[in-house]
Amino acid sequence: MNNCLGCGSKLQSIDSSKEGYIRENNISSKLCERCFRIRNYGEYKTVVKDNNDFEPILKKIGTTNSLVILVIDLFMMNKDFDVLTKNLNNDILLVFTKRDVLPKIVNDQKFIEYAKNLGIDYKDIVITSSNKNYGLDLLMEKINQYKKDKNVYVIGYTNAGKSTLINKIIYNYSNLDRTITTSILPSTTINSVEININDDLTLIDTPGLIDNNSLINIVDVKMLKRILPNKEIKPITYQIKSKQTIFVDELVRIDLNDKNNLIFYLSNSLNIKRVFKNNNKLKNLKENIIRVKQDEDIVISGLGFIKVTNNDVIKIYAPEEIDIYTRKKLI
């Protein structure tokens, strides 16, 4: 049997619990049942993968001379990219996705300058939005400029927008009548998928690496839809004058003691509530004591980030698995 055109899995009709399953009476299908149900019914069946499954793929890429596109979600930027690049000697084209989610007023040059802090050795950088067709012509120019052979590998973390970006390239720059399966849920692409854009270019979509310390991997589908913004976010500012607590839905508690201004860059579908009286709500979650400077962001992995105007020590209560840290401010 062939591979699923949606997720890259080897098609099989033996075990319905494993990837690539299709019913015997649908043996001619080009999509596995999982991809078919994601596309047509919005149903998602989890396939458990471990990052160890992806390391051989990255090592294999490292043995080639092909160009690598490293896709990074501009809004929910991951903390560590060494796990993606440590096995690569390839030229890397850095691509920021989801530009449309961050405020238009911010100049793209800020993001280009910020990329220098990521510790990635890249040849060039392109800022894109698949939803708005933003930066895609420039991306194609850069691919043709830097590729050394026909194959170009696309790598990144889950939910970075790899498959959505490739689908937009297919639509805009090829005559193919196919798309890769996409979903807001993590790990939609299970195995590598080759797409022949034209005689001179084959894009190879690889499975996204899983950030085990991200909120998106522990919430249910209903909450995930609220966490992931699908339009430009509107930053929300709180002026803190005394001891106050801020709740982000039922997900996170933030305790503050001193005067400060906090600017929240989160999905506007989330409920942010400030209270002035003491209570124990969400204090059963892990306490994180964050020392933040005025030129830093507080990042809550998988949720978004917070800017402060003054140096401060802030308590943040969140699920134990979630990574909370400071970084040089993005905006």
pLDDT tens digits for range 28-39: 667 777 676 666
Question: For residues 162 and 204, is the Cβ–Cβ distance under 8 A?
Answer: no
Residue 11 is given by DSSP the state P
Average pLDDT, the chain: 86
Tens-place pLDDT, residues 42-85: 444 444 456 677 888 889 999 999 999 999 999 999 888 888 88
pLDDT at position 11 is 77
Q: What percent of the chain has pLDDT over 90?
A: 59
Instruction: Go through the chain and tell me how many residues it has.
Output: 331
CA-based nearest residue to 96, from 80, 72, 121, 123? 72
**Topology adopted by domain 48-211:** Rossmann fold (3.40.50)
Output the pLDDT for position 93.
98
Cα angle 203-206-207, degrees, rounded to a multiple of 5: 155
Structure confidence at residue 269 as a pLDDT band (50, 70, 90): very high
Residue of higher predicted confidence among 189 and 28:
28
**Tell me, what's the pLDDT at 205?**
87
- Average pLDDT rounded to a whole number, residues 280-296: 94
Rounded distance between C-alpha atoms, residue 246 and residue 252, angstroms = 8
DSSP H helix total and E strand total for the chain: 7, 16
User: Hey, where are the domains in the chain?
Assistant: 48-211, 232-328
At residue 193, the pLDDT reads 80
Q: What is the pLDDT of residues 135-150, one digit of tens each?
A: 999 999 999 999 999 9
Q: Which amino acid is at 307?
A: K
Q: Which amino acid, residue 142? A: K
Is the torsion defined by CA of 5, 9, 10, 14 positive or negative? negative
Selected residue with higher pLDDT from 214 and 31:
214
Give the model confidence (pLDDT) of 73-123 as tens digits. 999 998 888 888 888 999 999 999 999 999 999 999 999 999 999 999 999
Residue-level pLDDT at 218: 87
Is residue 300 within 8 A of residue 322, CB to CB? The reply is: yes
pLDDT at 279: 84
pLDDT value at residue 216: 87
Asked if 226 contacts 271 with a C-beta cutoff of 8 angstroms, the reply is: no
Contacts by 128-133, CB closer than 8 A, 24 or more apart? 128/95, 128/96, 128/97, 128/99, 128/165, 129/97, 129/98, 129/99, 129/100, 130/97, 130/98, 130/161, 130/164, 130/165, 130/167, 130/168, 131/98, 131/100, 131/230, 132/99, 132/100, 133/168, 133/172
pLDDT at 246 over 50: yes
User: Beta strand 193-198 with 236-240: parallel, antiparallel or unpaired?
Assistant: unpaired
